[in-house]
Chains A and B, each alone.
Chain A
Amino acid sequence: MARPQIKEISFEIDGREVRAPEGTMLVDAAKSGDVEIPYFCYEPKLGQPVGACRMCLVEIEGMPKLQTSCSTPVKDGMVINTTSDRVKSAQNAIVEFLLINHPLDCPVCDKGGECPLQDISYGWGGGKSRFIEPKRHFRKPLELSPLVAIDRERCILCYRCVRFSQEVAEDYQLVFLERGDHTYVGTHDGRPYVGPFSGNILDLCPVGALTSTAYRFRARPWDVEEAGSLCTLCPSQCNVQLTIRDDSKVLRAFARDNPEVDDGWLCDKGRFGYQAIHSEERLRAPMVRDGSMLREAPWDHALEQAAAALTRAGAGTAALAGGATTNEEAFLLGHLMREALGSPHLDARAGGALDPQQARVLARPDLSARVSDIDHADVILVVDTELVEEAPILDLRVRKAARRNNAKVVTLTGRPSSLDPNATAAVRFAPGAAEAALSALAAELGSGRATGSRLHSRAGCEPGAIGAAAEVLRAAGDVVVLWGERISDGARGASAVDALLAVAGALGIVDRPESGLIEVPAATNARGMREAGVAPGLAPGLTDAPEAGMPAAEIAGALGAGELSALILLHEDPLATHPERRRWQTALDTAATVIAFTDFVTTALRDYATVIFPAESYAEKEGTLTHPDGRLQRVRQAIGHQGQVRPEWSVLAELAGRCGARPDVRSAPQVTQKLFATVGFLDGLTLDEIGGKGVRWQDRDAASNLPRAELPEGTLEVPPELPEGMRLGTVPSLWAGTTVEHAPSLRFLAPVQRAELAPADAHRLGVGSGDEVEVAAGGQRLRATVALRQAMQPGSVFLVSGTADNNATALTNGVPRTVEITKTAGAVNGAGPPAAAPAAPGPGAQPPPV
């Protein structure tokens, strides 16, 4: 489905001839003539207009009655009047009508000062009311959820929040209850409205009916300043606007609409995660190990200790970067490692590095899709990623394409996907068998590259399921493939990516400009870090590194064996995110030096770190990130550095300097310029060009500087047979990690470990939903609560990775592996969550109804 071509038409508004795209609703078209029509319920992001508030009435020549301009598309030659006496008296009447039951408690209302109802009453209202009867009353304020407070007296019943829940988030929780003047917003059974996107209704509500419990009464619009930046908490990299008070405190975050990135939505993690910035527990000064204790130390001492230890280790140093490491920090880390210490061992992918050649192929502009391509795709293929947990805004994007533009969705995943209800074909394979599933799909799509027999059984798929998916894909024009980084994990990662490329080849993606692949990585800036040279085999610009280093898994082994002696952790805690927790424990224990940059001291760092530098929060940082679709975006500093925190680029530069290779940089933009000058395909880019909305490097001429890489052509390797037994898969939780733990509003969402089982397996094991089980593999064990999922493939068990306790990384080792599941008897001895621990709400923890 190509992007629609839009024709311009001309019409007359208030006596002026104006041009506007055909089919635009009158409210929007009027803006081209500098005419403002007041409205409450109109919001194109929510889908079709509903005409609920009647605020937007206008007079159209030839129509006897006033029309709602939000639901009347503009036509050629229309004559519209928005200032006639009829329109004015209608506007006055609507304002008077809307205020009949409104409490007018503006001084106590949080919306005061930024309230459309205030503005419109002032601008278009008659200024008086004839209503003297008592207004309707509700108990207030009530918690609609732990994040949102509702004041039903203020609600003007515009439908926006309900439409969001029904048509955008598709969680179907919010509804209008009762009828007529008794109508109010609520959930079916009065349960809290909890969902990963619930906070968006705060931005949508045009009155003060829905207010954020975290922002409630914190400030007025004239007390604060707004600062545009990026949310760096997941790879979606949504554009946010931060509300800052006194230049030092972030009070809230809300969406900064960028249709190429986020469509103006935010997930609740991005909306409320800012609280962690001001958490008491956040590290605000460097720490240096003194015997068994970490002690706060002056910067100079910490830098000296770190530099001395690194110089000692020299080429025996390894580095892991993760999370929201900016491109600049990644670049400087590469400089520190390669130039100052002479070590090539740096990695940013937990599951294993991408083959350099494959990395270049995947970066090809003709193979990559932009986020907005999802809107116009015929088919969206989701490969082994749970978008709502890994890049939530893309989940909304796929839902939008399916709902509004009739795109077909095909899910090809190990775990039942939350997009299955929207999918035309849903294929389940055994955890870790993505390679076989993709090979089978390539074979079905007629790729000559696939070999091997019974591929679907090697993938553990139902016979015929892959054929059905291929059927949908074959008939498609534009296809966007969203693939999870995890398919490239482990020893067979390269073959799996090869199979993915075979599918892409069979779909003819290179020849279709609006088709493409988008990787859904684990780390926020995975793409940027790779392109800035934090990968064992890649120098900045995806060129081959002069000397290939070890990927993360080998680093763990080498540290444990004493071949490497120092480790730099840039925003990374391998015990939380890397597979083979046991091996990493040994590695950290054996390492002579562990230098970490972090905002919160996790248990692993408390036990093993030698020097810890405080990391900047994203509100303090200046730099660029690269979106998974190649868009470079700026993180802008919004508040002053808290405590003794220093810009991390300067700390990395200083460390490199003290280790003997001082980079020639004196300011953050200078690092950026140096990076752009080094990376061929970013040549000539400037911060100004990136601006507020970002630039996709694939769209610039310099993209031709990407080292050439051809699509592979040889036959695919034959995927291995599946191991017998209960096969373990993991799924990350959006709510795992230090940010959620330290954001008071979000803490209730922090996940506890659960084992998702198919009912048949649970029956066979003699366990039921809510039972506590012990999951064991390779001598490691952890506790989890059973959650039954109807759509789960029998023989699979899924655990959550990244939980604070009982993290699934204890059991994973990068290859498909089987686990033993036994029911635990009796009480839990402190190691795990109490048996009766309620499952955290949210789709992560609550399997959607099947």
Chain B
Amino acid sequence: MPEPHTPIDDVITVQRGPEPGGLGGAYRAFGATLRGLRTTLGRVAEKPPTYQYPEEKTPVYPRFRGRHKLQRFEDTGLEKCVGCSLCVAACPAECIRVVAAENTPDNQVSAGERYAAVYEINMTRCIFCGYCEVACPFDAITMGNDYEMADYHRSDLIFTKEMLLADAIEKTPLRREGE
């Protein structure tokens, strides 16, 4: 049995500042201002914290989830993705589309029997949750650090397999430890 409700416990005592006018009023007017000024003056000597984007990129933490990347095997150059569509199943925004096809001896795209003939991510819908990366049994789809994806047309934001296999044009700088 839960305890019976006692309304008294709900009452919150609000702490108020001094009433306006008089000494208390003067403190209210200047005290807070002076405290703020102290912070300002204390940092006058520092250099500005503004990043001059886009000339200068904002660095991100290493685990920042940005633009996806499809991986290849370093030794063979074959694509890691086998087109299993597990990322599609995992994606809560339903923004991935995979159409698989069969590898043939003349057209060996991935290591297994199947490969992704179409692999598209609709970046306008992606919420960068990283579930696809978690779902992938082959570490084929990974979340990169790049966030520069703006474009003029929605259709250009549907990233194709070729775009996802390629590296981002410019690398996003990473924040250093403690930064």
Assuming the contacts A216-B102, A217-B101, A217-B102, asked whether A108 and B88 have C-beta atoms less than 8 A apart, the reply is no
Whether B34 sits at the interface, judged by CB under 8 Å, is no
Which residues of chain B are within 8 angstroms of A113 by Cβ–Cβ distance?
Answer: 89
Contact digits for B126-151, partner A, Cβ 8 Å, 1 yes 0 no: 00000000000110000000000000
Q: Is A218 close to B, CB under 8 A? A: yes
Q: Which of A125-145 contact B (CB under 8 A)?
A: 141
Please list 22 pairs of residues, one from A and one from B, whose beta carbons are closer than 8 Å in the complex, sorted by A's number.
A105-B112, A106-B84, A107-B86, A107-B112, A107-B138, A108-B82, A108-B84, A108-B112, A108-B113, A141-B113, A216-B102, A217-B101, A217-B102, A217-B113, A218-B100, A219-B99, A219-B100, A220-B84, A220-B88, A220-B89, A222-B85, A223-B85
CA distance A216 to B104 in the complex (A): 13
If A108-B112, A108-B114 touch, whether A217 touches B83 (CB-CB below 8 Å) is yes
Please name all residues of chain A whose beta carbon is closer than 8 Å to the beta carbon of B99 when the two chains form the complex.
218-219
In angstroms, how far is the closest chain A Cβ from the Cβ of B138? 7
Looking at the complex, which one of B83, B88, B101, B138 makes contact with A222 (CB distance below 8 Å)? Answer: B88
* Interfacial residues, chain A to chain B (CB-CB below 8 A): 105-108, 112-113, 141, 216-220, 222-223
Distance of A222 Cα from B89 Cα, bound (Å): 7
Are A217's CB and B89's CB within 8 A?
A: no
Docked Cα-Cα span, A106 to B137, in Å, equals 10
Task: Determine if B88 and A107 form an interchain contact, defined as CB atoms under 8 angstroms apart.
Answer: no
A217 touching B86 by the CB < 8 A rule?
A: no
Interface of A (DSSP majority class): loop
Contacts of A106 in B (CB 8 A): 84
Q: Among A106, A141, A219, A220, which residue has the most Cβ atoms of chain B within 10 A?
A: A220
Q: Mark B17-61, 1 if CB is under 8 A from A, else 0.
A: 000000000000000000000000000000000000000000000
Question: Which residues in B have their C-beta under 8 angstroms from that of A222?
Answer: 85, 88-89
Residues of A within 8 A of B85 (CB): 219-220, 222-223
Chain A residues with Cβ below 8 Å from B114 are 108, 217
Q: CB-CB < 8 A to B88: which residues of A?
A: 220, 222-223
Assembly CA distance A222 to B135 (angstroms)? 14
Cβ-defined contact, A107 with B84, below 8 A:
yes
How far is B113's CA from A37's CA once the two chains are assembled, in angstroms? 33
In the complex, given contacts A107-B112, A217-B114, A218-B100, what are 17 additional A-B residue pairs having Cβ atoms less than 8 angstroms apart? A106-B84, A107-B84, A107-B86, A107-B138, A108-B82, A108-B84, A112-B84, A216-B102, A217-B83, A217-B101, A217-B113, A219-B85, A220-B88, A220-B89, A223-B85, A223-B88, A223-B98
Bound-state Cα–Cα, A321 to B43, Å: 91
CB distance from B89 to the nearest CB of A (A): 5
In the complex, which range does the number of interface residues on chain B fall in? 10 to 19
Query: In whole Å, how far is A482's beta carbon from the nearest beta carbon of chain B?
Result: 42
Q: Which chain B residue lies CB-closest to A112?
A: B84
Cα of A219 to Cα of B137 in the assembled complex, Å: 18
Q: Which chain B residues in 69-86 approach chain A with CB under 8 Å?
A: 82-86
> Which residue of chain A has the shortest Cβ distance to B90 in the bound complex?
A222
Tally the A-B contacts, defined by beta carbons under 8 Å: 38
Bound CA span A107–B136, Å = 9
Residues of B contacting A220 with CB < 8 Å?
Answer: 84-85, 88-89
Known contacts A141-B113, A217-B100, A217-B102; is-contact A107 B89 (Cβ 8 Å)? no
Q: Return the chain B residue nearest A110 by Cβ.
A: B114
A218 surroundings in chain B (CB, below 8 A): 99-100
CA distance A216 to B102 in the complex (A): 8
Task: Name which residue of chain A comes closest to B89, CB basis.
Answer: A222
Separation of A223 and B101 alpha carbons in the complex (Å): 14
Q: Which residue of B lies closest to A213 (CB)?
A: B102
Q: Which chain A residue lies CB-closest to B113?
A: A108
Which residues of chain B are within 8 angstroms of A112 by Cβ–Cβ distance?
84
Most buried by B among A106, A113, A223: A223
Expressed in whole angstroms, the Cα–Cα distance for A107 and B87 within the complex equals 11
CB distance from A110 to the nearest CB of B (A): 8
B83 — which chain A residues lie within 8 A by C-beta?
217
Q: How far is the CB of A9 from chain B (nearest CB, A)?
A: 43
Q: Using a CB-CB cutoff of 8 Å, which residues 103-126 of chain B contact chain A?
A: 112-114
Q: Which 8 A-B pairs have the closest CB atoms?
A: A107-B84, A220-B85, A217-B100, A108-B112, A217-B114, A222-B89, A107-B137, A108-B113
Residue from B84, B86, B99, B101 whose CB has the most chain A CB atoms within 10 Å: B84
Residue of A nearest to B86 (CB): A107
Quote the shortest CB–CB distance from B177 to chain A (angstroms). Answer: 36
